[in-house]
Structure 1
């Protein structure tokens, strides 16, 4: 019977380098580039991956793996079968240490980590600072696409799915009818979008969608959990704040009592955003702070 491994939520480049080096001792590591850009961005993740990525990395297209949605929404949670098929295609088995990164530093990788953790793959981590920090630390990159060779017997059975950490549209609507200041069973909702979109002052990047926010939600822009760094090349990238500053950002957004209740597990909290992508940053920040079961709003919720 295999023992479930719970990997650290975050790894530094040097820690990932050591983990990869120890793979010869039977500790398999697969790195996934889960880069994603906003719909209004001119950048193309597939082209960027082919141009440069971590040695041996595979490209995880979060939109391609996602479940279909009647409104055409992207990167929704996949079915267990689709998740398992994607893992198998990457040469990932249930005991593989999966390390996920993106080209911003910290942006879309936490959403990919949430997906792995929701399917019980706890031997998974995010590279803090992503590809830019890896390069800034003087580590090598590849400029040709990685060829994935599947090993005979490297199977990934459809895993169990933890529905308790994913909130559906219907659950969000029901929760929005409760006032968390007076109703103790109401979940706090923290919105990861920039404050202008939360307040309805700035437009949404997706055509036809109104700005504004879910009733009774709190504004906690995902950038409040991050710090900006400058590589020797001049490239800017983000990493997570240290825990004490993460906690301060949470308190500034939802108040000391709410933050205490969330971290002690007596008040549920839901991370939300425009499509469920940057909500992953808040979810991961809450996990780093010790919150046991922060949840994430996903339209499908399978």
Structure 2
């Protein structure tokens, strides 16, 4: 839909340069339900100048299971863009407060609706601040810019539903018609040895899935004169090495060459965005995201749950 594609990742200095010619900046910070932090309050206390807050739990469609941050309907997405002053030609740059946590999911949403002129700030708010760039705080005034955003059509090839995942779970990765499932949850939850953070949901994994924790493609960076750190994506050659370590050389090469389709999943569809983006940085094309992820799969009685190694 947008006029041209933009890089998936940009640096703080690149974003600073973009602000001279016009760009829409969105803070998409989000935290796990067991983390006692409020991203909206933090946005008011510290943000990149002219940023607006994108609440991924609000720009979402209702779920029959009551799940949060499910992909929105096209009109819901378009209305949010109009409220932000974003039209289909706007370059949108998304960041979060951790470095790389929820911003890949937000980028996935924009790209799935055809808004190719979208990027994330690699390193997020902490890197921006660490590099000495300006910070705003206090009362926030929403964008007064008027924008029109025609209702976009979701690329249906980017989303997987439960029925698809259940059928796929019966197929071994060696079956050429199967999709390779990459699970971004911490390995202990995939193994079933550590509990899920959401009450009432057992740990374990979808049969034949691979464990690829969302931190696999990330590196930690120190904040100068502080004990804090922020995350950034590894360089593509290191991302490739990590992928090989998770799925093996043969599957990794097939994924990168587009010879095998991939589905990214996680706890609730949030950090699956890391898998999606990491593979995109390698040039992979056929990558879907299981929107409900483990929160939707594990609560259904018809689901088969595996624990331990493959």
TM-score normalised to structure 2 length: 0.92
Does the CA contact (< 8 Å) of 2:26 and 2:54 recur in 1? Answer: yes
Of 103, 119, 122, which aligns to 2:113? 119
Give ranges in structure 2 of 5+ residues lacking alignment: 294-310
In structure 2, the residue corresponding to 1:38 is in which secondary structure? coil
Task: Give the CA deviation at 1:22.
Answer: 2.2
CA distance in 2, matches of 1:132, 1:274: 25
Contact preservation (8 Å) 1:87, 1:156: yes
Q: Is the 8 A contact 2:2 2:115 kept in 1?
A: no
Report the Cα distance in structure 1 between the residues aligned to 2:136 and 2:6, rounded to whole angstroms. 26
Residue from 159, 162, 176 that aligns with 2:169: 176
Runs of 4 or more, structure 1, over 4 Å off, are: none
* Equivalent of 2:227 in 230, 234, 239: 234
Q: What residue in structure 1 maps to residue 300 of structure 2?
A: none
CA distance in 1, matches of 2:139, 2:66: 29
Task: Report if the CA contact (8 A) 1:57-1:146 is conserved.
Answer: no
String of CA shifts for 1:219-264, please: whole Å, max 9, x gaps: 0001010000111133211000011110010000000000000000
Shift of 1:3: 6.8
Contact 2:180 2:209 in 1 (8 A): yes
Equivalent residues of 2:2, 2:117 under 8 A apart: no
What do the CA deviations read for 1:55-109 (whole angstroms, capped 9, x no partner)?
0000000001111112110100000010000100111111000000000100100
**In the TM superposition, what are the counterparts of 1:141-152 in structure 2 within 5 Å?**
141-152=135-146
Q: Distance in 2 between matches of 1:127 and 1:239?
A: 9
* Structure 1 residue 295, shift from structure 2 partner: 1.1
Q: Which residue of 2 aligns with 1:282?
A: 275
Query: In 2, distance between residues paired with 1:144 and 1:88?
Result: 24
Is 1:82–2:81 an aligned residue pair?
no
- Tell me, in whole angstroms, the C-alpha distance in 1 between the residues paired with 2:103 and 2:2: 25
> Which residue of 2 is the match for residue 162 of structure 1?
155
Q: Which residue of 2 aligns with 1:13?
A: 12
Q: Which residue of 247, 251, 254 maps to 2:247? A: 254
Provide the rounded CA distance (Å) in 1 between the counterparts of 2:288 and 2:222. Answer: 32
Corresponding residue to 2:47 among 34, 43, 53: 53
Q: How many residues align?
A: 293
> In the alignment, is the contact (CA less than 8 A) between 2:78 and 2:151 conserved in 1?
yes
Over the aligned positions, Cα root-mean-square deviation in angstroms equals 1.4
**Structure 1 unaligned residues grouped into runs of 5+:** 24-28
